Each structure stands twice: as structure tokens, then as C-alpha cells.
């Protein structure tokens, strides 16, 4: 059972949230708060697993609450509630960079029943992910399950059959298609053998490209410059001319660490698909631009990409890369049908890169629910491109990277803190 505290100054919205949560199995509402100060007091006393946090409350605002929670030894998962406005998107991005688990926007419908259902649809996959994260961490903390790990059903080094430690999680959710009560993370339902679970034990050794066992360097492979524990397979035959990144839940926080760590003279363009609705991607790009040596903008139709520039796909729309007659790379922005229940979709972008720029890209799949990006990575790999994934230990949700790893498509699993160094070394 996931315990939830509702923090919002609106009595009407608290009632809608309460009714939505009561319709979700495995959820227990333990309290409500009408302002930030009261929320902190109840969080301390009730120790909820999840806090739904309105960002604009009296007495103490949502950002102040989040900042104080970060200093606590046990911080609950926080889902921020955002207004679908420019100001709402800006403060939401700050909250996500500050460690919020996810966000949803307040419904914009006049019907209470419709608003309740939209909230329920947005919250259900978040609660499933949190339940799985709690269960997996509980298993990992059990001394019986510690030690070398074999895949489920296989014999462990000590003999006997290894207990299954990876628990599947629903990849339901939207990513910019239905804007009311929209979730940050996007994912269609992943196959049963390739569904995701949130990151588990932060102290585990990062997994290698395909398995979590000790990696042996094949001929021509190299380790990243910062750690002997991370292996990257041999570099591609030609230097990448484009960096493409796919990311979802936990993305703003991860990108705020990766993008500012890349050098301003990286030498190639960067394209990013972050599952988000409109307005929020522009705020994300603006926030990253203020912190980075690279120039970061939200992509627009007809742009010709430039080296040392980062282009974020606009929320609620697809982004496609095309080869131009003059040898450059152009961007097309479309309203084509969602893929993997996502728009923008990682697969959509990666497929266009594989088609128009074969063998010229370095792909990176980072934290997020579902399996968006796996098919696109497969196409990129067929053309000779490389793919790195964010390792399990540093993902908020190890869904998209896990799908790539289990498909045998990852050339390296890299901790978030080392991703910029790994990417830069491959590009240069």
C-alpha cells in the first residue's frame, strides 16, 4: 500500500484528488494539508510514501517545501501539481530539477467527473512505479537476496535458482497528447518481458551494457576515463556527427546534470526528446541554456542544426531530422500520430536519423518509463551508430534504458555523473 499526503490550498482540488486516489488500488490517503507549513508538519509525522504538492500555496510555497524535504534523511516521492501556463511550466521545471519525482497539470475541464478521471489516469502509473520501487528496495535490503545475481530462473554462482529481483512495472501514461492532468513521463505498455522498474539500490555496482555482472573488456573496448567499473565497447568506425538523447521520467534533473557538463566546443549538434506537454519543453530549454556552455533552445520547424547547439523537441509534437542538399541537417516538426503513446517520441526521432544520417549518430537513452527508443536504437545500430544507456543505479525509473539493454543494443551503461565524460570521449 502506497501512503499519500495531499497538499493543496484548494478545498475543491483536494476533494478531486482524494476521489481520484480512492479509485486506484494499492493507495492509502493518510492526510491532507492546505498550506506548505502544514504539509511539512504532516510529512514529518505521517512519513508518507508520496506527496502530491501544489507549487503555489500560502504560508509556505511548494518550492520551499521541496527544498526543505531535500535536506531530510528520508525524502518522500513528490509529484508536483502544475498550472498549464508559462509560469507554471517554469516553476515545474525548477521543481523537477530540485528532485521532484514527476508532475501532472491541473485538469482544465469544467466537469468534476472528467477532472477526477483525468487525475486518476495521470496518477495510476506513478503509483505503480513507486510501489515497485519500494518492493524492489525491500527485496534488496533482505540479506538472503544479496550476493552475485543471475538472471531470473538461472543458477547463481553459489548454486540454486536465483530469486527474481527485477519486478516489472506498467508503462502506462501519456506524454503530451492529452494535455489536461498530463504526466511528465510517457510510455506505452511495454512487453511483459521488457517492462521497467524504478532504480533500486544506489550502492549497487552499475550494470554493464547487457548484464549486471562483472564486465570483461573485449578486444578494442575501453573504459571511461573516470572509473574502471564502467566499460564502453569499441568506438564507432566514424566519429559521430550528431548526439541524440531520449529521456522521460526524471529527465529534467538528469539533463540539468548532463548538458551543463558537456563542453561548449563539443563540435556537433545535440537533439533531445523529453516526454513533456507544450510549454514545459520551452521552459526546460531555457533553464538548461542558463546553465550550459552549449546553446539550448526548443526546436522549431525549418531550423538547420548547428554544432554546439542543443535542440529540445517541442512538447506535444514530434521532431524529425533530415539530410539537406547542402550537407546540413534540418529539423521538421510534425503532428503525426503518437508512437508508444508518446508525442514527442524517441523512436520517431531516432528512426529519422537512421534513415537520413546512417552511421553518423551517438544515441543516449536515459531515465524513463516504458520502452520508447528501443526500436529506434535498433535501427541506428544497424547503420553502425553507437548507443549508451544511463545505468540502473542513477535512473529515477530504469525502464527505457532497461528495454535497450535487454534487447542487446547497449554499448555501455554509464552512471549519470560520468555520462558527459563518456559522450565527449566518444565524440572526440
By mean pLDDT, which of 112-126, 136-150, 164-178, 414-428 is the weakest?
164-178
Q: Look at residue 82 in the predicted model and tell me its pLDDT.
A: 87
Please report the pLDDT score of residue 73 as a whole number: 86
Average pLDDT over residues 242-255: 96
Question: Which whole number is the average pLDDT over 52-68?
Answer: 94
158-209 per-position pLDDT tens digit? 333 333 333 333 333 334 343 334 445 444 333 333 344 444 433 333 333 4
Q: Return the pLDDT at 149.
A: 41
pTM here is: 0.79
Residue 53's pLDDT band, with cuts at 50, 70 and 90, is very high
Query: Residues 6 or more apart from 265 whose CB is under 8 A from it?
Result: 308
* pLDDT computed for residue 86 by the predictor: 78
Residue 31 has pLDDT above 80, yes or no: yes
Q: Could you tell me the domains of the chain?
A: 2-138 (3.40.50.2300), 222-427 (3.40.50.180)
User: Which sequence positions are flagged as catalytic?
Assistant: 248, 275, 372
pLDDT digits (tens, 9 = 90+) for 300-329: 999 999 999 999 999 999 999 999 999 899
CA 340 to CA 327: how far, in whole Å? 31
Lowest mean pLDDT among 16-30, 142-156, 162-176, 334-348: 162-176
pLDDT of residue 222: 52
pLDDT for residue 142 is more than 60: yes
In contact, 262 and 420? CB cutoff 8 Å: yes
The residue-averaged pLDDT of 114-139 equals 85
Tell me what pLDDT residue 327 has. Answer: 87
Whole-number Å distance between alpha carbons of 310 and 96: 20
Please check the confidence at residue 216 and state whether its pLDDT lies above 90: no
Q: 145-171 in b/e burial notation, b at 16+ Cβ within 10 A? A: eeeebbeeeeeeeeeeebeebbbbbbb
* Cα atoms in the 13 Å half-sphere on the side-chain side of 53: 35
| Coil, strand or helix at 88 | helix
Percentage of the chain surpassing pLDDT 90? 67
Given a cut of 60, is residue 425 above it in pLDDT? Answer: yes
Q: What is the mean pLDDT of the chain?
A: 83
Residue 334 in this model has a pLDDT that exceeds 50: yes
Pick 283 or 235 by higher pLDDT.
283
Q: What is the pLDDT of residue 104?
A: 92
Q: pLDDT tens for residues 336-380?
A: 999 999 999 999 999 999 999 999 999 999 999 899 999 999 999
With cut-offs at 50, 70 and 90, classify the pLDDT of residue 152. Answer: very low
pLDDT of residue 372: 98
Q: Are 209 and 216 in contact (CB under 8 A)?
A: no
Where in 197-354 does DSSP place strands (E)? 197-198, 222-223, 231-232, 242-247, 270-274, 295-298, 309-312, 318-323, 329-334
pLDDT given for residue 111 in this prediction = 87
pLDDT-based confidence at 128, cuts 50/70/90?
confident
Query: How distant is the alpha carbon of residue 299 from its chain centre?
Result: 20
**Distance, CA of 99 to CA of 113 (rounded, Å):** 31
Average pLDDT value for residue range 89-99: 93
Amino acid at each position: 500500500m502506497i501512503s499519500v499526503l495531499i497538499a493543496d490550498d484548494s478545498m475543491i482540488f483536494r476533494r478531486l484528488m482524494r476521489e481520484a486516489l480512492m479509485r486506484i488500488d494499492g493507495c492509502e490517503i493518510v492526510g491532507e494539508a492546505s498550506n506548505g507549513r502544514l504539509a511539512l508538519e504532516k510529512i514529518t509525522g505521517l512519513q508518507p510514501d508520496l506527496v502530491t504538492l501544489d507549487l503555489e500555496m500560502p504560508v509556505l510555497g511548494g518550492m520551499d517545501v521541496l527544498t526543505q524535504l531535500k535536506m531530510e534523511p528520508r525524502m518522500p516521492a513528490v509529484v508536483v501539481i502544475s498550472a498549464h501556463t508559462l509560469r507554471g511550466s517554469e516553476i515545474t521545471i525548477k521543481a523537477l530539477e530540485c528532485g521532484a519525482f514527476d508532475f501532472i497539470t491541473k485538469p482544465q475541464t469544467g466537469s468534476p467527473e472528467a477532472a477526477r478521471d483525468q487525475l486518476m489516469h495521470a496518477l495510476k502509473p506513478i503509483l505503480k512505479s513507486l510501489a515497485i520501487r519500494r518492493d524492489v528496495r525491500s527485496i534488496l535490503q533482505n540479506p538472503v537476496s544479496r550476493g552475485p545475481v543471475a538472471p531470473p530462473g538461472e543458477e547463481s554462482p553459489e548454486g540454486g535458482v536465483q530469486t527474481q529481483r527485477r519486478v516489472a512495472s506498467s508503462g502506462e501514461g501519456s506524454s503530451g497528447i492529452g494535455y489536461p492532468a498530463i504526466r511528465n513521463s510517457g510510455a506505452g505498455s511495454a512487453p511483459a518481458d521488457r517492462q521497467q522498474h524504478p532504480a533500486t539500490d544506489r550502492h549497487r555496482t552499475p550494470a554493464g551494457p547487457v548484464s549486471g555482472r562483472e564486465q570483461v573488456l573485449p578486444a578494442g573496448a575501453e573504459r571511461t576515463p573516470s572509473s574502471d567499473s564502467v566499460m564502453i565497447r569499441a568506438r564507432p568506425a566514424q566519429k559521430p556527427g550528431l548526439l541524440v538523447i531520449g529521456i522521460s521520467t526524471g529527465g529534467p534533473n538528469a539533463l540539468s546534470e548532463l548538458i551543463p557538463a558537456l563542453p561548449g566546443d563539443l563540435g556537433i549538434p545535440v537533439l533531445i526528446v523529453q516526454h513533456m506537454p507544450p510549454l514545459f519543453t520551452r521552459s526546460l530549454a531555457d533553464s538548461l541554456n542558463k546553465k550550459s556552455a552549449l546553446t539550448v533552445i526548443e526546436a522549431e520547424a525549418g531550423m538547420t542544426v548547428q554544432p554546439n547547439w542543443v535542440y529540445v523537441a517541442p512538447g506535444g509534437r514530434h521532431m524529425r531530422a533530415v539530410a539537406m542538399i547542402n550537407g546540413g541537417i534540418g529539423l521538421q516538426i510534425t503532428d503525426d500520430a503518437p508512437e508508444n503513446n508518446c508525442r514527442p517520441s524517441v523512436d520517431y526521432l531516432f528512426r529519422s536519423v537512421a534513415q537520413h544520417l546512417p552511421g553518423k549518430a551517438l544515441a543516449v537513452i536515459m531515465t524513463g518509463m516504458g520502452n520508447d527508443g528501443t526500436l529506434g536504437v535498433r535501427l541506428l545500430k544497424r547503420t553502425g551508430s553507437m548507443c549508451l544507456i544511463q545505468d540502473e543505479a542513477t535512473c529515477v525509473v530504469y525502464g527505457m534504458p532497461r528495454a535497450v539493454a535487454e534487447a542487446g543494443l547497449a554499448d555501455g551503461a554509464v552512471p549519470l555523473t560520468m555520462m558527459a565524460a563518456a559522450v565527449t570521449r566518444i565524440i572526440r
